[in-house]
Amino acid sequence: MSSRDTGELHIVVLAAGKGTRMRSARPKVLHEIGGRSMLSHCLDTARVLSPASIRVVIGHQGEAVRASVAETDIEWIWQDEQKGTGHAVSLGIDGLDASDGARVLVLYADVPLLEADTLHRLIQDPVAVALLTVRMDQPHGYGRIIRDASGAVLRIVEQKDASDTEKQVQEVNTGILMARFADLKRWLGSLDSGNAQGELYLTDVVEMASGEGKPVRAVVADDVWSVTGINDRLALGRLERVYQSRQAERLAFSGTTLADLHRIDIRGSLTCGQDVQIDVGCVFEGEVRLGDNVRVGPHCVLRDCEVADGSTVEAFSYLEGATLARGNHVGPYARLRPGTCLDAGAKVGNFVEIKASRIGPGSKVNHLSYVGDSQVGTDCNLGAGTITCNYDGANKHRTILGDRVFVGSSSQLVAPVTVGDDATIGAGSTITRDVSQGALVIARSRQVERSDWRRPQKKTD
Ligand code: UD1
Ligand code: CA
């Protein structure tokens, strides 16, 4: 059959449940895996299938759930009272503008690791109903897949309705299912709640399909984690680790050296060039790009950063919104805040904070400094304890240093201030006025020596 015969695809995502076991003020589906909500994982996977529509059924804290999604390609359906998965899906397809041959795919918003490839396998053939199932050693709590002697799927029986023999079945319903729109509409219309939970079970459509002699196909997922739903924070924590180790494996496979595959966290996207080395305990957030031969020492945090070829970030550094050129050396214990740009070969050492500043090629800020709202030229040296006083209590001001400027240790540059090329600032100076090119300035009190002075003596009586 051609794709036209199989009809367009509509996706209904179930997200109305309460998530009591999370014990959280936050809606369950907004808890995060890899720094993104479970719902956002689910929607991204849904979008890969290029569906004609995506509808999300919301209920508990629905406003918050809706507000978490910025994209406008979603239709939100309210389910005020949760009367079961069958009820949720019937609301989900109510008034849907679909052809009779259309297919409806039901997803759960609390199953974040499901991959589009698995869904492609589920939706590829035009059958009446396709179910995603999985085998579990401990199937307790799940709906069991009941097959006949020939292996054909007959129905799904929920844990609470299952007989002792049925409870032995280890193949379970993941909840993810595809059905033809026209059939589904008809079947959902005749569901009843005569079961142990008094709910409208979506799963009952399977028995209706097999009763009509319609083909029901079960696709068995080969990985339990990818179909695991999250109900509590234990599952949340476990799936987070699975998600992280998958990303670590992907990185390692594509040529990045990780000191420990189990000690890296990527909450966003990390792109690495060739021969990148990442030590233990690093956290990458947002979008981070590392060039060739970049080395990141242990326990660093990089958020929305770009690090060019051959640069090194040493242990315990915290970089946010920073751009590093080639051959930079940063840390240990450096803090680079948004708007930091290091030009080629620049060095930033321990206990240095830099914000909204450009550090020119080959320049060094090696120890205990704060550089904010500044522009530092080529080959400058900022001595230990250099502070740019960029804030007057009301406004921020800029500090501009030319090329080859030498700033002696423990100096303050009170902005706005400009220092010319080749100028030298004596250690311990407080610079409040512009400094001319090539000049030496010393702005500290003179040293006084008194050889007639005696230390006070402790009184004795
Ligand atoms: C359901 C399946 C079960 C399957 C299991 C997999 C049914 C009757 N049973 O059981 O066969 O093994 O999932 O996890 O379908 N939801 C709504 N509105 C409702 C009810 C549920 O949006 O009225 C949402 C929930 O938020 C959740 C999902 O649907 O995301 C599943 O609901 P849940 O109550 O967890 O279903 P189970 O009883 O676990
Ligand atoms: Ca469940």
Look at residue 318 and tell me whether its pLDDT is greater than 60. yes
337 and 217 housed in the same domain = no
146 and 180 housed in the same domain = yes
Nearest-atom index, ligand 1, CA of 110: 30
> What is residue 296's predicted lDDT score, i.e. its pLDDT?
99
Q: Give residue-wise pLDDT tens across range 352-380.
A: 999 999 999 999 999 999 999 999 999 99
Is 317 near ligand 1, meaning CB less than 6 Å away? no
- Least distant ligand from the CA of 16: 1
Note the pTM of the prediction, 2 decimals. 0.93
Look at residue 1 and tell me whether its pLDDT is greater than 50. no
Categorize the per-residue pLDDT at 5 as very low, low, confident or very high, splitting at 50, 70 and 90: low
CA distance 113 to 246: 10
**Residue 273 belongs to some domain of the structure:** yes
Active site residue 367: yes
> What is residue 368's predicted lDDT score, i.e. its pLDDT?
98
Q: Give residue-wise pLDDT tens across range 195-216.
A: 999 999 999 999 999 999 999 9
**Residue 241 belongs to some domain of the structure:** no
Give residue 105 CA to ligand 1 midpoint distance, Å: 15
Q: Give residue-wise pLDDT tens across range 342-357.
A: 999 999 999 999 999 9
Look at residue 421 and tell me whether its pLDDT is greater than 70. yes
75 and 209 housed in the same domain = yes
> What is residue 4's predicted lDDT score, i.e. its pLDDT?
45
296 and 193 housed in the same domain = no
Domain hosting 112: range is 9-227
Q: Kindly state the average pLDDT of the residues 13-30.
A: 96
Nearest-atom index, ligand 1, CA of 84: 23
> What is residue 3's predicted lDDT score, i.e. its pLDDT?
44
Nearest-atom index, ligand 1, CA of 199: 8
Q: What is the CATH number of the domain that holds 82?
A: 3.90.550.10
360 and 252 housed in the same domain = yes
Mean pLDDT of the chain: 96
> What is residue 100's predicted lDDT score, i.e. its pLDDT?
78
Look at residue 56 and tell me whether its pLDDT is greater than 60. yes
Contact 62, 17 (CB under 8 A): no
Give residue 101 CA to ligand 1 midpoint distance, Å: 26
Look at residue 2 and tell me whether its pLDDT is greater than 60. no
Residues whose CB is less than 8 angstroms from the CB of residue 86 and which lie 6 or more positions away in sequence, other chains included: 188, 191, 199, 200, 201, 202, 203, 204, 205
Number of domains in the chain: 2
Residue nearest ligand 1's atom 25 by CA: 17
Give residue 203 CA to ligand 2 midpoint distance, Å: 13
256 and 302 housed in the same domain = yes
Q: What is the dihedral of CA 428, 434, 436, 441, to 10 degrees?
A: -20
Per the residue annotation, which of 10, 31, 367, 397 is the catalytic one?
Answer: 367
Q: Give residue-wise pLDDT tens across range 59-95.
A: 999 999 999 999 999 999 999 999 999 999 999 999 9
> What is residue 178's predicted lDDT score, i.e. its pLDDT?
98
**Residue 433 belongs to some domain of the structure:** yes
**Residue 461 belongs to some domain of the structure:** no
Residue 218, classed as helix, strand or coil, is: strand
199 and 261 housed in the same domain = no
89 and 209 housed in the same domain = yes
Distance between start and end Cα atoms, the chain:
111
Look at residue 112 and tell me whether its pLDDT is greater than 60. yes
Domain boundary among 196, 227, 258: 227
**Residue 460 belongs to some domain of the structure:** no
**Residue 289 belongs to some domain of the structure:** yes
Look at residue 453 and tell me whether its pLDDT is greater than 80. yes
Is 375 near ligand 1, meaning CB less than 6 Å away? no
Residues whose CB is less than 8 angstroms from the CB of residue 342 and which lie 6 or more positions away in sequence, other chains included: 322, 323, 324, 325, 328, 330, 336, 348, 358, 359
Percent of the chain with pLDDT over 90: 97
207 and 121 housed in the same domain = yes
Residue 139, classed as helix, strand or coil, is: coil
> What is residue 125's predicted lDDT score, i.e. its pLDDT?
85
- Least distant ligand from the CA of 172: 1
> What is residue 354's predicted lDDT score, i.e. its pLDDT?
98
Q: What is the CATH number of the domain that holds 312?
A: 2.160.10.10
312 and 378 housed in the same domain = yes
Q: For tokens 């079960």, what's the residue?
A: 218
174 and 202 housed in the same domain = yes
Give residue 150 CA to ligand 1 midpoint distance, Å: 28
**Residue 214 belongs to some domain of the structure:** yes
Q: Kindly state the average pLDDT of the residues 115-129.
A: 94
CA distance 86 to 13: 12
Nearest-atom index, ligand 1, CA of 156: 11
> What is residue 126's predicted lDDT score, i.e. its pLDDT?
84
Q: Give residue-wise pLDDT tens across range 146-193.
A: 999 999 999 999 999 999 999 999 999 999 999 999 999 999 999 999
- Whether the ω angle into residue 332 lies within 30 degrees of 0, i.e. cis, is yes
214 and 304 housed in the same domain = no
Q: Kindly state the average pLDDT of the residues 265-269.
A: 98
**Residue 366 belongs to some domain of the structure:** yes
CA distance 124 to 130: 10
